[in-house]
Amino acid sequence: MKYDFDEIVDRSENYAAKFQEADLHYGTNNVIPLWIADMDFKTAQPIIDAIHKRADQGIFGYTYRPDEYFEAVRDWQKKRNGYEPDIKKMAFAPGVIPGMRLFINLFSKPGDRIIIQQPVYHPFADVTRNTGRTLVVNKLKCQDGYYTMDYDDFEEKAKQGIKYFILCNPHNPVGRVWTKDELKRVGDICVKYGIEIISDEIHADLMLDGHKHTVMATVSPEIAKITTTCTASSKTFNLAGLQSSTIIFNDETKKNIYVDELKKMDIARNNCFSLVATMAACRYGEEWLEQLLVYLSDNMKFIKEYIDKNIPILKTRIPEATYLCWVDARGLNMTDKELLRFTVNKAGVAFGMGIDFGEGGSGFLRVNAATSRDTLKKAFEKLKNAIDNI
């Protein structure tokens, strides 16, 4: 089936957070919203069909999760990433961050040190601080817009005692696909100093231009023993509103403790739509995904070419993965508050603000490129006109 990613779907009336919550974050809804990380594309037809079939039954009671659910997730991982996790070590989560928060609460104690690599997805810092743990930052190194890990700094901080390392693999927002060698080097430091790894791999399916994802738990047997993997179909297939993720544990006992806690909160079940949608995505969504990746790659090339030709005061690279483009706006010589006001009030575009992603994010913008080419053109034309009139 041929999918039309140029189709513009009006999301302003379907309670989309990117529209309805813009006012909370930017003080206005009168912006082109390129901030929150979901897509403006209709999902794969087999997923829509599965949800329609379930809805047509007209009964939306408590939903049982069969083994087939986790088998579908396992089979998808095996086919796409060469990773075959044990379904006995897999657990449901209503989202990666809620699952991560519960995990940290259960398996660490207040004051424990958790290391993250900023600039990075800001809920990593939030979930650390909000659980009373101590945040430690291993800042990424940047050379001409290309990011690498600072292993020397990581090891120095590891020596001081770290309970968990939250890894973003691939990386949001800088778009790196960490190589096996990179992962092994940082993973070996974790093994050496007794640090456990929580690997957020929610963007793993969004590989651009032939890049390949490496699951952290596949790097070595020693690293597998200390790694818990967080994954979901939500970013891949634009299903975030169904609130379903999978936590893959390295230990069945630990998984059982986690599931028991979910049961105590009565959130251990899928809702009826996330169940069928996830299975349909894993079984029948690949055709849609392959077409999506081509479109996203072309969107990234458009952004890069447009900036280079029309707004050279900005700098960016084509990301290796995700649908998020990291743009260096430091050439505008604005404070972060000035940059926010300028992009919203003068350009009329809501970008993710780099400062929200922690150390190394000041002066940057995160652009959600998972929208129609026409929308991107309008947004960057508005940005260009605003900059031309400074």
> What is the arrangement of strands in the sheet containing 196-200, beginning at the earlier edge strand?
90-93, 245-248, 227-231, 196-200, 164-168, 113-116, 134-137
Please tell me the predicted confidence (pLDDT) of residue 246: 98
Domain boundaries, given as residue ranges, for the chain: 17-44+287-388, 59-284
Contact yes or no for 241/29 (Cβ under 8 A): no
pLDDT of res. 375: 98
* Mean pLDDT score, 208-222: 98
CB 319 within 8 A of CB 304: no
Query: Is residue 330 a contact partner of residue 354, using CB atoms and an 8 Å limit?
Result: no
- Is the pLDDT at 61 greater than 90? The verdict is yes
Nearest to 73 by CA among 97, 50, 89: 89
pLDDT of 14 over the 90 cut: no
Name the β-bridge partners of 167: 199
Give the closest residue to 253 by CA, choosing from 89, 84, 65, 71: 89
pLDDT of residue 85: 98
pLDDT, tens digit (0-9, with 9 covering 90-100), for 109-154? 999 999 999 999 999 999 999 999 999 999 999 999 999 999 999 9
Across the range 226-251, mean pLDDT stands at 97
Residue range 66-76: average pLDDT? 98
pTM: 0.97
Q: Please state which CATH number belongs to domain 17-44+287-388.
A: 3.90.1150.10
Alpha-helical segments (H) within 119-271: 123-130, 151-159, 180-193, 221-224, 234-237, 252-264
pLDDT at 263: 97
Say whether pLDDT at 220 is over 90.
yes
Average pLDDT in the 103-114 region? 98
Determine the 3-state secondary structure of 111 from DSSP.
coil
pLDDT score of 347: 98
* Token representation of residue 53: 């079939």
- Candidates 1.10.760.10, 3.30.420.40, 3.40.440.10, 3.40.640.10; CATH matching 59-284: 3.40.640.10
What is the band of 13 on the pLDDT scale with cuts at 50, 70, 90?
confident
Report the pLDDT averaged over residues 19-38.
94
Return the pLDDT at 12.
Answer: 83
Q: Above 90 in pLDDT, residue 211?
A: yes
Average pLDDT over residues 39-46: 98
Is 5 in a helix, a strand, or coil?
coil
Q: What is the mean pLDDT of the chain?
A: 97
